[in-house]
């Protein structure tokens, strides 16, 4: 197979793995936070929202540095995980954490918008039918916002797939371990004769990004029941 060199396949596979796992890892937290922001008013809500948006606004390298400070060997969380024999800095698992943190705001924003769009009166109707909070969430809110959640996951994946700054700061550029596709492109850009590889990986990135964007658009295009009723 000559489409990509072995180390390029490795970088692609790692990026796909990091993209998928970062979404899987972030999704439960994103669902909880999105629900909280959509449904509850509480002190400190504004502060929480500001913190949530930080990864979108901060230079990714700074986020990566913050992650290193937290999860590094001498960081508070790094030390804690170290007692269980878990090391994430300079490991592919660290790349998952970096990607999850960077994609988290997009995930939360999409899911929150989906939750906001669920007709609260339907939840009230479910409540009168004896449904408690969990049942209402599982049977009304989740299914009615499923498309927004899936669209958010696709966007989160796409963000994670393309993550560069935070990843290279946090887990560096270790071939086979933390060299994701964008890092491989960066590496090739700095190597004489690396341009053909850059082009190949850039095309792969473009295809993945286009696929993710098309998926998100298709999925978020509207629930079939809404489309039918609008017709």
What is the spatial distance between Cα 162 and Cα 12, in angstroms, rounded to a whole number? 11
Greatest pairwise CA separation for the chain in angstroms: 69
Q: How far apart are the first and last CA of the chain?
A: 49
Number of neighbours of residue 132 by Cβ within 10 angstroms = 9
Structure tokens at 138: 């599982």
Structure tokens at 61: 């390298």
Q: In angstroms, give the least distance from the CB of 154 to another protein.
A: 21
SS3 label, residue 89: coil
Q: In angstroms, give the least distance from the CB of 224 to another protein.
A: 9
What is the spatial distance between Cα 228 and Cα 219, in angstroms, rounded to a whole number? 16
What is the spatial distance between Cα 81 and Cα 91, in angstroms, rounded to a whole number? 13
Binding stretches for another protein (CB under 8 A): 119, 121-122, 124-132, 139-140, 143-144, 223, 225-226, 228-229
Structure tokens at 207: 């295809």
Report whether 115 contacts 38 (CB < 8 A). yes
What is the spatial distance between Cα 161 and Cα 12, in angstroms, rounded to a whole number? 9
Q: In angstroms, give the least distance from the CB of 130 to another protein.
A: 5
What is the spatial distance between Cα 33 and Cα 44, in angstroms, rounded to a whole number? 13
Q: In angstroms, give the least distance from the CB of 36 to another protein.
A: 20
Q: In angstroms, give the least distance from the CB of 115 to another protein.
A: 15
- Determine the length of the chain: 231
């Amino acid at each position: 197979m000559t489409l990509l060199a072995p180390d390029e396949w490795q970088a692609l596979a790692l990026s796909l793995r990091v993209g998928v796992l970062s979404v899987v890892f972030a999704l439960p937290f994103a669902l909880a936070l999105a629900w909280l922001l959509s449904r509850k008013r509480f002190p400190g809500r504004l502060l929480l929202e500001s913190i949530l948006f930080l990864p979108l606004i901060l230079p990714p390298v700074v986020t990566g540095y913050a992650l290193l400070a937290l999860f590094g060997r001498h960081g508070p969380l790094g030390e804690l995980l170290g007692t269980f024999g878990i090391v994430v800095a300079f490991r592919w698992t660290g790349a998952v954490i970096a990607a999850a943190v960077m994609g988290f705001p997009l995930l939360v924003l999409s899911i929150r918008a989906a939750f906001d769009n669920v007709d609260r009166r339907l939840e009230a109707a479910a409540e009168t039918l004896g449904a408690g909070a969990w049942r209402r969430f599982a049977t009304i809110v989740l299914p009615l916002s499923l498309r927004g959640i899936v669209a958010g996951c696709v966007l989160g994946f796409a963000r994670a797939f393309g993550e560069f700054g935070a990843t290279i700061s946090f887990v560096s550029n270790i071939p086979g371990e933390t060299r994701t596709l964008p890092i491989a492109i960066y590496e090739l850009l700095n190597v004489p004769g690396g341009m053909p590889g850059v082009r190949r990986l850039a095309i792969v990135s473009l295809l993945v990004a286009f696929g993710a964007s098309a998926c998100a658009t298709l999925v978020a295009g509207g629930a079939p029941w809404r489309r039918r009723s609008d017709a």
